[in-house]
Structure 1
Amino acid sequence: MGIRSGMMYTAGIISVGASFASWLLSKEVEQDIARADRWGLFVGEWAPTFFAMGVALRIEETRQEIISGRPEEERREEERMGRRLSGRMTAGV
């Protein structure tokens, strides 16, 4: 699907910041401090999910590297070059 482990790690880090920001903003807007706390905790629960998905994707990426016998980055670069070359060939026809 094109989703990489690094993307999930980034989403986890962003969700930690979003949790703090939502708690801070809710604390200012809401009259009830408990509701602001719950809102911050709700958003904060996303971070472990994103990190777990990142770990699972990294395991899958490593497995693909082992199966193919070459690093994932090298394989991706080769695929990109193949697409560029095939695009040039069809454009020239």
Structure 2
Amino acid sequence: MAVVRRLHEAGITSEHAYAAAFGSIGLSLLSWIASMKAEQAGVERADRWGIFVGEWAPTFFTLGLALATYERQAPLAEGDSRSGWLDRPGSKAG
């Protein structure tokens, strides 16, 4: 969770991660087309470029989900160093 917290503190939001995921999908298609047109290496090489860039999308979507979860919990964490467990409804603290 430390990585997600640092990304959040750096100003990166879940929307940024989702945008990067959709951008990588588009970039995957563009790199495949560019490789097909510019290189004479054939479809196999173009497929490798498309797959390489396309593999970034799941990582960005996962970061987006983690950041969205953190963003929902961040207001709770600000009041308590233990992620706001004392402030949660239904807690049995003091």
The answer to whether the superposition gives a TM-score over 0.5 is: yes
User: Percent identity between the aligned chains?
Assistant: 49
Structure 2 unmatched runs, 5+: 1-9, 80-94
> Given the alignment of the two structures, is residue 51 of structure 1 paired with residue 69 of structure 2, yes or no?
no
Which consecutive unaligned segments of at least 5 residues does structure 1 have?
A: 70-93
> Matched residue pairs, number?
69
Q: What aligned pairs does 1:60-75 form with structure 2 within 5 A after superposition?
A: 60-67=70-77
The CA distance in 2 between the partners of 1:62 and 1:16, in whole Å, is 27
1:38 equivalent among 43, 48, 55:
48
Q: TM-score normalised to the size of structure 1?
A: 0.68
RMSD: 1.5
> Which of the two has greater helix per residue?
1
CA distance in 2 between counterparts of 1:21 and 1:9 reads: 18
Q: In the TM superposition, what whole-angstrom CA distance separates every residue of 1:23-81 from its partner, at most 9, and x where no partner exists?
A: 01101112122011101110000111111000000010011134459xxxxxxxxxxxx
Cα distance in 1 for partners of 2:34, 2:75 equals 44
Structure 2 partner of 1:14: 23
Give every structure 1 segment of 4 or more consecutive aligned residues whose post-TM-superposition deviation is greater than 6 Å.
Answer: none
The answer for the alignment partner of 2:6 in structure 1 is none
The letter for the 1-side match of 2:38 is: V
